[in-house]
Structure 1
Amino acid sequence: MKKSKELCSLWNNEQDLQTGNVKISELHEFKGHPFRVEHDMQLFELSKSIEEKGVLVPLIVRLNPDGEGYEIIAGHRRKAACEWVGIDTVPVIVMQMDDAEATIAMIDSNLQREHIRPSEKAFAYKMKLEAMKQQGKRNDLFYDGTLSPLGTKLDNPTLELNQLVCSYDNSGKWELGSRPLEKEQPRVRTDELLARQIGESRNQIARYIRLTNLIPKILDMVDEDKLAFRSAVELSYLSEEEQYELHAVMELEQVIPSLSQANRMKRMSQSGKLDMDMLYEILGEEKPNQREKLKIYADSLEGYFPSDFTPKQKVELIEKLVKEWSLNQAKTKTMEKKGR
C-alpha cells in the first residue's frame, strides 16, 4: 500500500494513511453497526454502477481490533454491492483510529442517508454520544434518557492565564515573553454539541435513545409506522416482560395504544400495578373519535399474499379488491334492471 495524507484533515488524523486494494473477505462489519444494508432497488442500482465503472470512492477502514483483516468505517453498502455483482477486491483507505474516533466517523458517514429508520437513529445517537463522552469532552451527561435542566458553570472569572511567547530580535537572538491567553469559549455539554451537529434538540435525542430500551418486536412497529414515535417513547419505560405481554395483547386484539394510553401504562408500570389484565382493560377502551373497525386476523389471510408484502401493501390490496368487487356488484345490478 502507498502512503497518502490526502484525507488527514477530513478525519482530523495527523498520521499517514495507507491506500490500496484488499479482498472483500478481509473486511469485517463495524461492531454494533446500527444501519441496515437492504438488498433493495437503491443497492441494485449501486451494484450496476460499480459493475460498469468500478468503486469510485474507496472504503474507509481501520485494522480490525478483534483480529485479522480490517473493520469497515464507511462503505458497508459499497461492500454489499460489490458482493452482489461478484467483485472480490475493493479500494480502501486504512486509517489509524481509536474506538471513539471510529464510531463517530462511522455514524457521521451514515447519517447522510436520505431515509433512516427511527431504530437506526436511536442506536446511532446512543453510540455517538457514548463515543463523544469517551473522548473526554464532558462527563456530566444524561443517562437513562433524562436531561439536566440546569447548565454547569465551568469557567473561573477570577483566573487569568498568560501564554509563553517565543520570538527573536533583529540580530537573531531569541526572546521570551508572555501575553494574556484569549478566553476560551464556554464549554458545551456533549449532548448539546451532538444536538447542534445533527440538527435535533437535546430532548429529541433523549427520546430517540429511549427507543433502544424497546424489545425488537415493538421497535419494528415503530420502523413500520404502526406505532407512533411518542407512544413508543412512553412504552420504553415498561419492563421487558411487560413489553412482551403488551405485544401479545396488541397482536391478539389488533389494537395500538394511543399516546395517553401509553402514558398510563408507563405510570402504572412505575407504580408496579401493570399486569396482563390491566393491559387488556386499557387497550380495550374506546379512543376519542374512534371509528368502528373490522378486525381481520392476519393468520387467516397470510397464505394469500406474497411473502415480501408489507402490512401496508396488504391493506392497500384488500382495499383495491373490495372496490373492484363493489363496482362489479353495481354493474350486475344495473344489467339486471335492464333485463327486466
Structure 2
Amino acid sequence: MKSSAKNINLTSVDDLFSTEESRADANREKVMEIPLTELFPFKDHPFKVKDDEAMADTAESIKEYGVLVPAIARPRDDGGYELVAGHRRHRASELAGLSTMPVIVRNLDDDAATIIMVDSNLQRENILPSERAFAFKMKLNAIKRQGARSDLTSRQVVGKLETADIVGKESGDSGRQVQRYIRLTELIPELLTMVDEKKIAFNPAVELSYLKKEEQTDLLEAMDMEQATPSLSQAQRLKKFSAEGKCTLEVMCAIMSEEKKGELDKITLTGDKLRKYFPKSYTPQKMEETILKLLEGWQKKRQQQQER
C-alpha cells in the first residue's frame, strides 16, 4: 500500500537550536555605539543640563574611562533616537570630545518613556524644585493615562492620592508632597525661578501658586517695591484674599510691608562666610562652640574695660 504522506522536510537539530538562539538574541537588549549627532533630547525634558563644575568633572571622567553606564533611547519617527535617560552623559561626552556613546535602544511608548526618564533623574542630588515639580507632573499624567487604558470597564485603578503615592515612591516623597510640588507648576516663571534660587521658601510658594496669574505678576511688583518676600503666613493671607477676589496690588504692598516676626533680631551667618576663619577639619558644631567662646572672651574684656 502506498503511503499517503507527502515528502516532509524535517529541520535538523542544529537548525532548531540556531533558530531559537537567534530569536533569543533578537529579543535581548544590545548596547550600541550611536553617534552623538543622532541622539536628541526628550520632548519637554524638565531637568536642566548645565555646563557647571559637576559637568566638567563628568566630562573628565568620561575622557579617562569612557561612558560606563549606557544611556537609554528610543527610535524617532523623524530618524535618529530620542534620549530617555542619559542627557548629562550625552553632554559630557560632547565636552570630552567623543563622537559616539553606548546606548540601549528600546521601543517605548510615550508614557513608558516618560516614567523611565523621570525615575532615572530623580535619583540625582541637587534637583531644583522646578525640575522636581514638572517631572512629577509628567509622571503623574503618564501613570493616569496608563491606568485609564488598562481596564476601561472596571473601577478607576487608583485614586488621586494613591497615584501621587506611586509617583513619589522612587524618590521617597509622599503623595501629599508630590501634589504640593506639582502645585509649583502653576507659578509664573519669575516666581518659580525665585523658588529655585531660594529667595522664596517652598511652603509659601505652594500657597502663592493659588493666586491668579495676573495677581502673581502684581506680587512681583509688590515684592520689588517693598524689597521683601512673603512668609508662610503672608502667603496664606494672599491666597485667602485671592479666593475672595480682594488681592489687589495695594493689599499686596500692605502685607509685604509688614515686619516679619523676629526679623530684626535674626542674624544669619552662612558656612561659606565662616569657613575661611576655621581649619577644614572643623565641623559646624565645633565652629559654633569656638564662636561662642570667643564672644564670651570679648564680653569679659569689655566688662573689664568698663570697670577701669
TM range (shorter): 0.7 to 0.9
Measure, in 2, the Cα distance between the counterparts of 1:4 and 1:100.
27
Measure, in 2, the Cα distance between the counterparts of 1:109 and 1:94.
15
Of the structure 1 ranges 17-26 and 273-282, higher mean CA displacement relative to structure 2 is found in 17-26
One-letter amino acid of the counterpart of residue 27, structure 1: L
Q: SS in structure 2 opposite 1:20? A: strand
Structure 1 residue 5: deviation in Å?
Answer: 7.3
One-letter amino acid of the counterpart of residue 216, structure 2: Q
Q: TM-score w.r.t. structure 2 length?
A: 0.73
> Is 2:261 the partner of 1:250?
no
> Is 2:61 the partner of 1:49?
yes
Measure, in 2, the Cα distance between the counterparts of 1:270 and 1:30.
37
Of 84, 90, 112, the residue aligned with 2:95 is: 84
Q: SS in structure 2 opposite 1:220? A: helix
Structure 1 residue 290: deviation in Å?
Answer: 2.6
Matches within 5 A, 1:186-205: 189-205=162-178
Q: SS in structure 2 opposite 1:198? A: coil
> Is 2:298 the partner of 1:286?
no
Q: Is the 8 A contact 2:165 2:178 kept in 1?
A: no
Structure 1 residue 316: deviation in Å?
Answer: 5.8
Number of residue pairs matched by the alignment: 244
Q: Is the 8 A contact 1:22 1:92 kept in 2?
A: yes
Of 14, 19, 25, the residue aligned with 2:37 is: 25
Q: Which has the larger helix fraction?
A: 2
Structure 1 residue 41: deviation in Å?
Answer: 1.4
Q: Is the 8 A contact 2:164 2:174 kept in 1?
A: no
Q: SS in structure 1 opposite 2:33? A: strand
Measure, in 1, the Cα distance between the counterparts of 2:224 and 2:97.
41
Query: Could you say which residue in structure 2 is the equivalent of 1:98?
Result: 109
Measure, in 2, the Cα distance between the counterparts of 1:249 and 1:139.
45
Deviations 1:249-307 (A, max 9, x none): 212321011111101111111111111111111111222223189xxxxxxxxxxxxxx
Change over 3 Å in CA distance of 1:196–1:54 after alignment to 2: closer
Of the structure 1 ranges 262-271 and 195-204, higher mean CA displacement relative to structure 2 is found in 195-204
The sequence identity of aligned pairs, in percent, is: 48
Alpha-carbon RMSD across the aligned residues, in angstroms, is 2.7
Measure, in 2, the Cα distance between the counterparts of 1:245 and 1:23.
48
> Is 2:193 the partner of 1:220?
yes
Q: Which has the larger strand fraction?
A: 1
Consecutive unaligned residues of structure 1, counting only runs of 5 or more, are 7-13, 148-188, 294-311, 321-340
Query: Could you say which residue in structure 2 is the equivalent of 1:150?
Result: none
Matches within 5 A, 1:35-184: 35-65=47-77, 67-136=78-147, 138=156, 141-142=159-160
Consecutive unaligned residues of structure 2, counting only runs of 5 or more, are 1-21, 151-155, 278-308
Measure, in 2, the Cα distance between the counterparts of 1:28 and 1:196.
28
Measure, in 2, the Cα distance between the counterparts of 1:139 and 1:253.
49
Query: Could you say which residue in structure 2 is the equivalent of 1:302?
Result: none
> Is 2:241 the partner of 1:268?
yes
Of the structure 1 ranges 41-50 and 231-240, higher mean CA displacement relative to structure 2 is found in 41-50
Deviations 1:205-257 (A, max 9, x none): 11000000011111111111111111000000011111111112212321011
Q: Is the 8 A contact 2:122 2:170 kept in 1?
A: no
Runs of 4+ in structure 1 off by over 3 angstroms are 3-6, 14-19, 137-142
Q: SS in structure 2 opposite 1:62? A: strand
Q: TM-score w.r.t. structure 1 length?
A: 0.66
Q: Is the 8 A contact 1:15 1:96 kept in 2?
A: no
One-letter amino acid of the counterpart of residue 263, structure 2: Q
Measure, in 1, the Cα distance between the counterparts of 2:255 and 2:225.
14
